[in-house]
Structure 1
């Protein structure tokens, strides 16, 4: 039933107002929805980015080993003043100069003001965090992943300590991630005071009043204010605490130890440190005002006098080699390839790390240098070096190396006549033309090894000219003549050091092998000779390529060691302060020549020393020391054009001793340089013998290997005996037979053109004169 009551009247709304309110509500609702959606998306994106960042971080630190308690104690808190260089018997050569210099102190020997100042300035959350500040890590992660900021983040004191003691100074995020991980390890095993003490012992603090680079708070306190670290005042502590941020800029001293004309930057930095201490509640307002108003420059020490330790070639050569070895070891451990290590920016990073290790971590570097031998060699060059001078008034310099044949161990060396006047190391660092001393390694050794010749094979020594390049048509000369106008045996060619014969033989090798780089690639490269396009030139057989004394001696070591190259080395091992081995030399012999080839070459080079056509070394030895002269010496001489370079390398079965002589300005030396070098070398060998006679045993001999082929050949042609047919006639071969030594292959059948090199006219002349040197002056140039 329907009610009959009148219904309530409904008030009608204004259509305009209704529409406006509706759209406003809808708009607000839409905006809210959009904001909620945007916030959700932003939150999810942030979480995603954080998740990616965390995953990325995990990927970066994958493979990084956590530090053990022992590692932390050794690598982080163990700070040493310097490393030791030692002779082969364990005696000290020297303590390595640290740069920066430092002194280690315990925590209770450091003023509390310094610790408070460092914490307030460098790491305000130091006593609260566990090695890292989480928000800094998150900021670094997001910045790296999104690219919207720096991936470096702020480093805590613990992270800075890890970076300086364990990691390199590389700025990659991978290093940063490892730094974060390792910093947390450090916090597990060291107390806060131990971390702070270690940081203050290793951090750089600029310069002292002698201009030396300094590190460690004790050295800073003594070098700037003349007090111990425990006695530093508040004002002094604040100044020192401000230095690590930019040590050289804030230091009050120049590199000579003078006070800077303007050291206001350091003063301003000190005031900032004091304010930080006041702000953090480390000092009261009264202490702050007194310290900030104190004129700290009154406490700066005046310039001091620096006493420089006198070091010589031995110190710097072993020291630099140790840096090189440690850098390579660290790079290898990081998976850096040899090719990548050649990149200067890469190698420099590892060299810097190695240098810091040697200067700061108390390493022991055990060298191969025998003290008695080294001292004897220095005494020898002091006493007899003047024998090398040629009367020109210009000092004739020298560089020498004594090497063990079996191992490559370097017993001693000579860098120059006098380190105080010439610091150029002519044993290791200079490169000079090898001259004829290269012939056994570049020409005769490879030719014998390839079976191209035997010891009595014949090679042209008739006048000839170059055939290629800028020297085309230029006469090729021997040291004392334009050619002996005959075909020399290989043995005689090396004894006389014939340039013409070496030229022909080398060209024959390259022609037969079809490559101008064949000899370098197959032989020299295995002995670490420098790579150079000049090895493929016609003049290469004359020794026009530059080499170091060490390289040349190492080549002869190879022949003396049955053809096996042992790289010359100066360092046996490197250990850290706890005795852990960081580097140890490993013998890695490389076969370059066959045993047969090496023994034949030594047999031929014995003739060089015994017959004395190019050096009186042996006869001078006899006049000096008969026992030493009885040693089985083999070797080779070398004299460059105009006698600008002169070499004598000699080997006994156990040792190789070689010397280069010349002038640093590359000017010519007067005639007779070979005799002067021989005299000097004989006295040098005798001086070494006087302190190490057991290294020279006259009973030891170079023997021909069992694999050597002893072939009977015609003495006239160097080929198999038998008549020779030429132009329809049988020609009787003059002379008898002889034994030719072959490493492989063997002599061919006798023939009219029996030798290497030479023209038709040369062969006619040789046959007509029955092999005798022709005195005919006709031009037989090719």
Structure 2
């Protein structure tokens, strides 16, 4: 009986062992599948990184010294007396010596080199290689990082490859954290045994025995739960990780995974981001003592935070330096000097949110047409935009300053007046800057994108362009009544708009009506054209919003955002060629492969001739019209064209205009829609002028179409000039549309004999013998 029982027990035990082994094997296989799936797939949810345009420099480019220095600061270049290392520069007045980092662009590579740049009168005078002395025709700086789209769990990291980090960092990390890393198989029994003895003696945990591999597994796969099961999983997965992957692959993953600090809500992971967070420099430019500090923080980033606990951090850094010297990673003779070095941590952490939230809003809206939100936050996309940081910062400063001055001059309660601005390039329609409010750092209501306000007379160029597209009916010399106008809205209702000054100038030419922004002639033109034609022109110019067929639209009773106004003026500035405004140039994945380009899409929506005529009138507006303020404050060579806009009760102040290089739209008003007491000329125009005073730009020089002829016209009548009377003005016309009739000059009154007798010539003496005969004849 006992033998039978013993036999049954042995069989049951064997079955149990087999089943246990099978269960363990199945569990290990499950762990292995999980481990390999994540390690070989998408290891991290990587934020999308958004970059500005690269600064291109060549002789003759408009660039001020202070703007070049600001660009270098945004790129975290360090000012020194002698730029030996990459990422350094020196400035001597208008002369710069820059040691560039180099950058891999999609199409080619900009090499690392020392460059001398001399600027004069707001332009680049010379560029040369500092070592070879050879002049450079073109050079590009790397792109400024302007923001990120972060994962929902608020982790941030900058991935680095093992060959991109300084060898001192990799060797020092191994020496301090796991000096037998290249010898063990994922677990180090000696370290585990030594840690157990030390912890038993102390009665609590004072030493860890985990290898770098185990630390990676714990941070990458497991929670912070303290249990035997988690420890067992950690050990098993460490063995599996070592089985499948090389030591270098494991070390590289560790360099990118380790937690090294907190930037408000964002967790700082990896040495790539930590080097920027603490030292404002890429990991490749770290010094030995800086590397030692970051390695030391791996033990406890919060405890050794150098900004909060500098003494604690210094002590830890010096201990790491001692270990690195002991293990032969650095020269023992250098240690004392390295310990004397300050922590050299940047005083303030970089902002956890983008310094350009308004522009980032625009980028997100455009990206959402092609990518879902999850991909934007987790795929590590590299988004290259057209934003010009110099133009952006200048626009922000100008808008904020002028809005404060206007607020004070109009005695508006502080903080109540606001504004928005959009700047784009004439060629290509790329948005160079976008300011969503007077506080450009506020990541909230973006007025440039979302504020729908009535646009007033800013709409008038579209009405007049529609008229000029019908040359058989309208030319710049067409006479239009400036008198009262009545438009029937319904059987019982009429609309009777008035001019802003409530005056009647009689008959004016079409050109003069637009230059002086007269309302009643504009309404007459629009009604004669038909609202359908005017609305079609607005849509052709790029306004995609619904537009009602109400006559009041002719005077700007239409709510648009500054970005929509910018699109309309962009098309006019480009000679009637519609190009959708865009902020994005291209998108790459985290491996550097181009996923999408945003090519230039153009469509001719207005004839070059009609657009040229309109531009000539809008240029006149800046000289003698509602924007003549510009001719007083800007140099003559900064030729431009534009139009003011004011809405009822002076709630909104607008100005949109363009030079040969830039298109700029400005809105000034209140969020509560109360009166500002500002017209387009006294409000938004001042912001526009302030920007143009300091923005390097090209003057407006519209290309004259072959069909355009300039003709001398009588200023008052709009007929051909008669040299016998009137005042001549030279106007452009489409060939064959100039006036046919010449102004009639009344003959000069003939002097009678009576008048001669009353006013005899002073040279004559006595009575004219023929006078009586003539007198009798004239009677």
In the alignment, which residue of structure 2 is the partner of 1:524? 538
Residue number in structure 2 paired with 1:449: 469
Q: 1:545 to 1:420 in 2, by over 3 A?
A: same
In 1, Cα distance between equivalents of 2:576 and 2:445: 31
Instruction: State the secondary structure of the residue aligned to 1:328.
Output: coil
Structure 2 partner of 1:184:
none
Shift of 1:388: 2.5
Residue of structure 2 aligned with 1:363, choices 366, 375, 381: 381
- Once the two structures are TM-superposed, the CA of residue 315 in structure 1 deviates from its matched residue by 3.4
Alignment of 1:750-761 (within 5 A): none
Q: Provide the residue aligned with 2:683 in structure 1.
A: 676
CA distance in 1, matches of 2:547, 2:490: 13
- 2:600 matched to which residue of 1? 587
In structure 2, what is the equivalent of residue 311 of structure 1?
353
Q: Distance in 2 between matches of 1:508 and 1:430?
A: 32
Task: State the secondary structure of the residue aligned to 2:434.
Answer: strand
Aligned ranges 1:653-672 → 2 under 5 Å:
653-670=660-677
**Structure 1: which 5+ runs fail to align?**
1-71, 118-189, 202-208, 217-229, 232-306, 330-349, 511-515, 723-732, 753-766, 768-782
Structure 2 residue aligned with 1:476: 497
Contact 1:416 1:425 survives alignment (8 Å): yes
Contact 2:398 2:691 in 1 (8 A): yes
Task: Give the secondary-structure state (helix, strand or coil) at the position aligned to 2:666.
Answer: strand
TM-fit CA distance, 1:588 = 0.6
- In structure 1, which of residues 734, 746, 753 is the aligned counterpart of residue 737 of structure 2? 746
**Cα deviation, residue 741, structure 1:** 3.2
SS of the counterpart of 2:691?
Answer: helix
Looking at structure 2, the residues matched to 553 and 112 of structure 1 have their Cα atoms a distance apart, in angstroms, of: 49
86-95 vs 416-425, greater mean Cα deviation: 416-425
Give me the whole-angstrom Cα distance separating, in 2, the residues matched to 1:386 and 1:96. Answer: 32
Residues 750 and 212 of structure 1, relative CA distance in 2, 3 Å threshold: same
C-alpha change, 1:449 and 1:325, in structure 2 (3 Å) is same
Relative to structure 1, the CA distance from residue 103 to residue 367 in structure 2 (aligned partners, 3 Å threshold; closer, same or farther) is: closer
Which SS does the other structure have where 1:675 is aligned?
coil
Q: Does the aligned pair in 2 maintain the 1:81–1:101 contact within 8 Å?
A: no
Give the distance between the partners of 2:569 and 2:375, measured in 1 at CA.
Answer: 35
SS of match in other structure, 1:403:
strand
Partner residue, 2:42: 77
* Partner in structure 2 of residue 492 of structure 1: 512
Task: Tell me by how many angstroms 1:114 deviates.
Answer: 6.6
2:217 alignment partner in structure 1: 110
| Deviation of 1:716 (Å) | 5.4
Q: Deviations over 1:573-610 (max 9, x none)?
A: 11111111122111011112111111111111111001
Provide the rounded CA distance (Å) in 2 between the counterparts of 1:653 and 1:211.
44
Distance 1:314 1:594, change over 3 A: same
* Corresponding position of 1:264: none
| Partner of residue 180, structure 1 | none
* 1:97 correspondence with 2:97: no
1:437 aligns with 2:458: yes
Match of 2:433 in 1: 412
Is contact 1:454–1:741 with CA below 8 Å preserved after alignment? no
Query: Relative to total residues, which structure has the larger strand share, 1 or 2?
Result: 2
2:106 paired with 1:86: no
Residue in 2 that maps onto 1:702: 702
Aligned partner of 2:527 in structure 1 is 507
CA distance in 2, matches of 1:614, 1:465: 28
Contact in 2 for aligned 1:438/1:543 (Cα 8 Å)? yes
- Residue 100 of structure 2 corresponds to none
Q: What's the CA shift for 1:383?
A: 2.7
1:620 match: 633
1:599 aligns with 612
Measure the CA separation in 1 of the matches of 2:579 and 2:595: 22
1:90-169 counterparts in 2 under 5 A? 90-102=143-155, 109-111=216-218
Partner of 1:552, secondary structure, is helix
Deviation at 1:533, TM superposition (A): 4.0
Deviations 1:9-48 (A, max 9, x none): xxxxxxxxxxxxxxxxxxxxxxxxxxxxxxxxxxxxxxxx
Superposition map of 1:42-81 within 5 A? 76-81=41-46
Change (3 A) 1:112 1:379: closer
The superposition leaves residues 529-586 of structure 1 with CA deviations (integer Å, 9 ceiling, x where unpaired) of 133242x211111011111112212222222212112221111111111111122111
CA distance in 2, matches of 1:116, 1:649: 57
The one of 633, 638, 647 aligned to 2:645: 638
The aligned residue for residue 398 of structure 1 is 419
Report the count of equivalent residues: 460
Deviation at 1:492? 0.7
CA distance in 2, matches of 1:445, 1:88: 34
* 3-state secondary structure, aligned to 1:635: strand
CA offset at residue 653 of structure 1?
Answer: 1.4
Aligned in 2, Cα 1:85/1:720: closer, same or farther, shift over 3 Å?
A: same
Determine helix, strand or coil for the equivalent of 1:587. Answer: coil
Partner of 1:570: 583
Aligned-pair distance for 1:526? 2.7
Write the distance in 1 (CA, Å) between the matches of 2:734 and 2:39: 56
Shift in Å, 1:681 = 2.4
Helix, strand or coil at the partner of 2:421: strand
Determine whether 1:328 maps to 2:369.
Answer: yes
Contact 1:448–1:743 under 8 Å retained in 2: no
Deviations 1:617-676 (A, max 9, x none): 32133xxxx3xx421111111111111111111211121122011111111122556223
CA shift, 1:460, in A, is: 1.2
Within 1, Cα distance between the matches of 2:41 and 2:735? 60
Write the distance in 1 (CA, Å) between the matches of 2:436 and 2:421. 7
Structure 1 pair 102/531, CA: closer, same or farther in 2 (3 Å)? Answer: closer
Are 1:554 and 2:596 counterparts? no
CA distance in 2, matches of 1:677, 1:654: 20
Secondary structure class of the residue paired with 1:110: helix
- 1:309 is displaced (CA, Å) by 4.8
Aligned counterparts, 1:119-268, within 5 A: none
Quote the RMSD (CA, aligned, Å): 4.4
**Where does residue 464 of structure 1 map in the other structure?**
485
What does residue 169 of structure 1 align with?
none
Q: CA deviation at 1:313?
A: 7.2
1:446 Cα offset (Å): 1.0
Residues 366, 574 of structure 1: 8 Å contact kept: yes
For residues 26-41 of structure 1, the aligned pairs below 5 Å read: none
Alignment check: 8 A CA contact 1:416 1:422 kept: no
Change (3 A) 1:102 1:716: closer
CA distance 1:99–1:630, change in 2 (3 Å): same
Q: Does 1:428 align with 2:449?
A: yes
Q: Secondary structure of 1:380's partner?
A: helix
Question: How far apart, CA to CA, are the structure 2 residues paired with 1:448 and 1:102?
Answer: 57
The verdict on how the C-alpha distance between 1:75 and 1:683 changes in structure 2, with shifts beyond 3 A counting, is farther
Which one of 642, 648, 651 corresponds to residue 658 of structure 2?
Answer: 651
Change (3 A) 1:378 1:191: same
Could you report, residue by residue, the CA deviation over 1:120-167 in whole angstroms, capped at 9, with x for unpaired residues?
xxxxxxxxxxxxxxxxxxxxxxxxxxxxxxxxxxxxxxxxxxxxxxxx
Query: What is the alpha-carbon distance in structure 2 between the residues aligned to residue 79 and residue 652 of structure 1?
Result: 46
- CA offsets 1:376-415 (integer angstroms, 9 cap, x no match): 2222223332122221326221111111101101111221
Q: Deviations over 1:295-349 (max 9, x none)?
A: xxxxxxxxxxxx995535723543x4444444433xxxxxxxxxxxxxxxxxxxx
The 8 Å contact of residues 102 and 215 in structure 1, kept in 2 or not, is answered as yes
Contact 1:436 1:637 in 2 (8 A): yes
Structure 1, 670-679 or 445-454: larger mean CA deviation:
670-679
